[in-house]
Amino acid sequence: MDLTSGFHQMLLHPNSTHLTGITTEFGLFEYKRLPFGLRNASSSFQRLMSLVLNGLSDLQIGCYIDDIIIASNDFDQHLARLELVFQRLITANLKVKPSKCAFLQFEISFLGHTVKEGKVLPDSKNLKSIKDSLPPNSKKKVRSFLGLTGFYRKFIPNYSKIALPLTNLTKDKVPFVWGEEEQKAFELLKNYLITEPCLHLPDFSRPFSIFTDASKYSLGCVLVQEDASTGFHHPIAFASRKLGPSEISYATVEKECLALVFAITHFKNYLYGAHFNVFSDQQCLSRVKTLKDPTSRIARWFLTLQQCDYTIIYKPGRLNFMADYLSRATYPTDKQSDNTNSEEIHNVNAQFNVFNFTSIHELIEKQNKDPYCQNIKSKLNSNFVFSPKSPQFFIKDNLLLCKNNNMSGRHKLNTKLVVPQSLVPQILHLCHDIDAVAHPGLSRTMRRIQKNYFWRGQFRQVKNYIASCHECIQRRGYVKHIKAPIQRIPTADFPFQKCAFDAVGPLVTSNHGNKWIIVISDYFTRYAEAYPVKNIQSSTVAHVLMDFISRHGLMQVLYSDRGSNFISEAMNEIYKKLGIQKLTTLAYSPQSNGLVERLNKTLIDSLSHLVSVTQEDWCEHVPLALMAYRNAFHRSIKETPAFLNQGRDIVMPYDLIFSEKERSYSDTPSYAHQLVNRLQTSFAIVKENLEKAADDIEKLNNSKPKCKQILVGDLVYLHTPKIKIHTSKKFAKLNEGPFRVVRQFSPVNFQIQHVNNPTNKQNVHVNRLIKVEKREIFPTVQSESSLADEGNEVLNINDDKENGNNIAVSNEEDILKLYPCYTLPYKDWMDDHQNMLSNTVQSDQLSIQNVLLSANPPENFEREETNTPICNLTQNQPHDHTNVMQPLTNLPLSPVIDEDITPVIIKNPTVSKQVPITRTYGLRPRNALGFVKYN
């Protein structure tokens, strides 16, 4: 039964009506009855219903807020209980809504559950929403999914164990990355619920039993009752939970005992006051009660267990089906499970059998479909002679194999499989990605591949595959010595126009209680101040800044890092009122504020020579360290900061022995006049020196290795030296991502956005970015008129001898010396990773190969009107390359003619050695033989 607008049937106390006021266009109104949406509305109404139906719970009558359920054994009993409930509702002046009531039902849905024939099932409406749900793409949606499935966790054995990857994903400090483990947990939870799991209602006239299990990371238990007729244990409810960080380190016997305590505590309403059996697959648990000297932890648990009457029964996993299921079922989170079954062994073996064909005929079939392998086979069948430098190809049982003498080491004579292009990604994955090889570098990956496999363009493909491997980039993609050029800060025009400040510490607590030093430096004169302080809170920083301003005046620009004490709301308000432009560096980019960072190092270096052994007197030596710094010659300004600030050299102790006597001034005006002239001259020289120093830094940057160019839209990883708590830096992956570059503020400052979490945007320095190379598959298709291996084969010497020629051209360069290069476009890579053919030039009357075989070609080799055009690349002619590339399935292996090329006549094909390149950006040239030119 359901009440009609239940909350509105409850009157509010007059003293509470003013708390429910609402404002409308017609005025201010207050509720006289309980409105929906108040924080305490549900609990207040539930308290009312509990008072109305007080004492009826023993008659199987219950309620949840405004929903009432009545269970009966027969028709007459049901009518009597209905009458009793109606009388209570009439007395309380509560009304029900007939359209929402269902009477005399054998099956009923109540609070998300369906109850029928002594069984409890999840509501089919909720199961449909679970079945139709898609994988969540944010932490909020993960929490929503876990909330829905957690409502039915009593239907799922070891729920917390299964949901562990999803639960970890909801933590604030864990980045949202939806991987394979999360997907498996998501699908497994869905499958458990959409199969309509069934729980039986408890019968308190029969004894209960519980099955317990403890794995490495979670506890699980199930409450069952044995069917008297069949002897089958029907589940009443499941329960599970994660082990805490300290509980994971418990011994096995302690974990099993903890699982028993958890089960009895969770099902205490069923178990108290009755004897029950505990089934476990751990024999040690049955002997825990007989321990003579238990540990304090187990002794404390004994106090909880002594309240119950139970018997522990040991059954091996093969006989105890329930415990065996709980302990041996494979879940996606149990990575380090000690229980190894046949399914786990199969999963491990699958990692080593990626390149596994059912028969050798399948491999032969793939080779026959690959144009490169097909071309090699055709050359072998036609008695073609290969270069001694090329691999020794041969066919054995229709399988194309080779031996590569150019390889060094003991594997150079190994018989290698010529891999068709369609299987190259699998070989690369097998030799680089699987756990057994653990993502090696380029050299080791090449050694593994060259031991058993060969294909054309092997080195380049392996290099690109490793450069685009996300796992490798996360671990070792960051290169420290390749930095972006240091950006030039505009030179200051006068003293204290631009300043920078920073905090140094924490240091040893000094005799005065100070632990930090706040330093401020001027960009023009390099003059510095240092303030020992007890803390670096915003209030302390503000006092230091005001003290500096009181003696040196207001600066126009102030630089600092992103410390919260420098950019807090209070400090920003001070900057605003003083008219100071506040600029901050990016995270992990101290070089952006290099002046004050270098000052910190110099100051600490000086103090290290002055402090005592205990170092507690360091703040007493800060003035001396500052004196040394201010009177030191600076190469960038070619002067001392003290002179530029005061217009005279400060007398130092070493000046007392001998120094040129200072000029004496008879009056103040003359001194002031001389001081002004001196400072004006010095300031002009300093500005010139600062500009020159900046130019020298730019020249030095140009001589250093260049970092990779980052563009908007590139996929990158972010180098983050900070590691997570309780993790080792030795194993840490310090490069986070992937991110997409969305904005560029300057040549070195970018804004990036996380691919899986669009709300995660950061402004970073280019030095922290690692560009992800685009994974490419390079086609190795050659036309029939081209040779089998690029630059490594010779022409068929036997055919040459038959024609009376003794010429033997050893490589492509020799051919190009005799005949011109005809270049045509060739695409670098294909997104669908299919082999493609580029257009080449052919002749229907005289093949190019016959021309090349001729030792003495005619001086004026003319081709009059023919049906097949030849392109003269000595003239730049417009040509549309958009339709050059055609899929392999639609083309024969012979060359294809581009009909847009206009016929021309070649008078002397040997005249031009340097042929102008007429191709669009990103396309590679081919010569007349079909060779691709790689520089």
pLDDT classification of 296: cutoffs 50, 70, 90: confident
**Percentage of residues in the chain having pLDDT higher than 90:** 0
For residue 479, being part of any structural domain is answered with no
The better pLDDT of the pair 754, 722 is held by: 754
- Shared domain for 187 and 285, answered yes or no, is yes
Residues 6 or more apart whose CB falls under 8 angstroms from that of 199 comprise 119, 120, 121, 154, 155, 235, 236, 237
For residue 677, being part of any structural domain is answered with no
Residue closest to 929 by CA, chosen among 844, 853, 840: 840
The better pLDDT of the pair 495, 931 is held by: 495
For residue 289, being part of any structural domain is answered with yes
End position of a domain, from candidates 328, 352, 370: 328
Q: Does residue 800 carry a pLDDT above 50?
A: no
The tens digit of pLDDT for each residue in 281-292 reads: 777 777 766 677
The better pLDDT of the pair 547, 236 is held by: 547
For residue 342, being part of any structural domain is answered with no
* CATH (domain of 454): 1.10.340.70
Query: 455: which 2 tokens?
Result: 């294909």
Q: Which residue has tokens 């008297």?
A: 228
Q: How far apart are CA 170 and CA 179, in angstroms?
A: 14
Going edge to edge, which strands form the sheet with 581-584? 528-533, 516-522, 498-504, 557-560, 581-584
Q: How far apart are CA 657 and CA 644, in angstroms?
A: 24
Q: What is the pLDDT of residue 920?
A: 36
Output phi, psi for 806, to 5 deg. -105, 15
- Shared domain for 301 and 371, answered yes or no, is no
- Shared domain for 274 and 216, answered yes or no, is yes
On whether the CB atoms of residues 930 and 895 are closer than 8 A, the answer is: yes
Output phi, psi for 22, to 5 deg. -130, 150
Q: What is the pLDDT of residue 741?
A: 87
- Shared domain for 161 and 257, answered yes or no, is yes
Average pLDDT of the residues of the chain: 69
- Shared domain for 132 and 256, answered yes or no, is yes
pLDDT classification of 396: cutoffs 50, 70, 90: confident
Q: What is the pLDDT of residue 43?
A: 83
Residue closest to 61 by CA, chosen among 42, 47, 45, 81: 81
What amino acid occupies position 541? V
Q: How far apart are CA 672 and CA 525, in angstroms?
A: 20
- Shared domain for 210 and 324, answered yes or no, is yes
Most confident of the ranges 630-639, 797-806, 861-870, 880-889: 630-639
User: In sequence order, what are the beta bridge partners of 764?
Assistant: 750
pLDDT classification of 825: cutoffs 50, 70, 90: very low
On whether the CB atoms of residues 119 and 198 are closer than 8 A, the answer is: yes
Determine the Cα angle at 122 with ends 118 and 124, to 5°: 115
The better pLDDT of the pair 195, 893 is held by: 195
pLDDT classification of 790: cutoffs 50, 70, 90: very low
Q: What is the pLDDT of residue 130?
A: 62
Q: Does residue 196 carry a pLDDT above 70?
A: no
Q: Does residue 863 carry a pLDDT above 50?
A: no
Task: Name the 3-class secondary structure at 64.
Answer: strand
The tens digit of pLDDT for each residue in 832-853 reads: 333 333 333 333 333 333 433 3
- Shared domain for 191 and 299, answered yes or no, is yes
- Shared domain for 131 and 211, answered yes or no, is yes
Q: What is the pLDDT of residue 785?
A: 36
Predicted TM-score of the model (pTM): 0.37
Is the peptide bond between 371 and the residue preceding it cis, with omega within 30 degrees of 0? no
State the Rg of the chain over Cα.
42
* CATH (domain of 764): 2.30.30.140
- Shared domain for 290 and 424, answered yes or no, is no
Residue closest to 539 by CA, chosen among 507, 561, 564, 559: 564
Residue closest to 483 by CA, chosen among 769, 773, 772: 769
For residue 63, being part of any structural domain is answered with yes
Q: How far apart are CA 127 and CA 124, in angstroms?
A: 5
What amino acid occupies position 673? H
Q: What is the pLDDT of residue 684?
A: 67
For residue 835, being part of any structural domain is answered with no
- Shared domain for 193 and 72, answered yes or no, is no
C-alpha 609: how far from chain center: 46
Q: What is the pLDDT of residue 478?
A: 52
Q: Which residue has tokens 């004897």?
A: 275
- Shared domain for 290 and 436, answered yes or no, is no
Q: How far apart are CA 281 and CA 211, in angstroms?
A: 9
Q: What is the pLDDT of residue 915?
A: 39
Q: Does residue 312 carry a pLDDT above 80?
A: yes
Task: Name the 3-class secondary structure at 441.
Answer: coil
Q: Within 26-179, where are the H helices?
A: 41-52, 75-91, 124-131, 139-150, 159-162, 164-169
Q: Does residue 797 carry a pLDDT above 60?
A: no
The better pLDDT of the pair 701, 908 is held by: 701
Count Cβ neighbours within 10 Å for each residue of 269-282 and write b for 16 or more, e otherwise: ebbeeeebebbbbb
Most confident of the ranges 166-180, 670-684, 795-809: 166-180
Q: What is the pLDDT of residue 669?
A: 62
Output phi, psi for 685, to 5 deg. -70, -40
Q: Which residue has tokens 């054998």?
A: 106
Output phi, psi for 370, to 5 deg. -90, 125
End position of a domain, from candidates 288, 305, 328: 328
Q: Does residue 60 carry a pLDDT above 80?
A: no
For residue 386, being part of any structural domain is answered with yes
Q: Is the dihedral of CA 338, 344, 347, 352 positive or negative?
A: positive
**Percentage of residues in the chain having pLDDT higher than 70:** 60
Q: Within 13 Å of residue 308, how many CA atoms lie on the same side as its CB?
A: 27
Q: What is the pLDDT of residue 723?
A: 60
Parent domain of 580:
498-656+682-686
The tens digit of pLDDT for each residue in 455-468 reads: 888 888 888 787 77
Q: Within 664-759, where are the H helices?
A: 668-702
The better pLDDT of the pair 55, 724 is held by: 55
Q: Provide the domain count of the chain.
A: 5
Q: What is the pLDDT of residue 543?
A: 85
Q: Which region among 505-509, 573-577, 816-820 has the lowest average model confidence (pLDDT)?
A: 816-820
Q: Does residue 295 carry a pLDDT above 50?
A: yes
Is the peptide bond between 316 and the residue preceding it cis, with omega within 30 degrees of 0? no
The tens digit of pLDDT for each residue in 643-687 reads: 777 766 676 666 566 555 555 555 556 556 566 665 666 666 666
pLDDT classification of 212: cutoffs 50, 70, 90: confident
Q: How far apart are CA 671 and CA 664, in angstroms?
A: 9
pLDDT classification of 387: cutoffs 50, 70, 90: confident
End position of a domain, from candidates 328, 348, 373: 328
Q: What is the pLDDT of residue 632?
A: 75
On whether the CB atoms of residues 177 and 183 are closer than 8 A, the answer is: no
Q: Which region among 22-36, 343-357, 710-724, 874-888 has the lowest average model confidence (pLDDT)?
A: 874-888
> What would the DSSP string read from start to end of 213-236?
EE-SSEEEEEEEEE-TTT--EEEE
* CATH (domain of 236): 3.30.420.10
Q: Is the dihedral of CA 222, 228, 229, 230 positive or negative?
A: positive
Q: Does residue 796 carry a pLDDT above 60?
A: no
- Shared domain for 63 and 96, answered yes or no, is yes
Average pLDDT value for residue range 165-172:
83
The better pLDDT of the pair 358, 106 is held by: 106
Q: How far apart are CA 697 and CA 591, in angstroms?
A: 13
Q: What is the pLDDT of residue 35?
A: 83
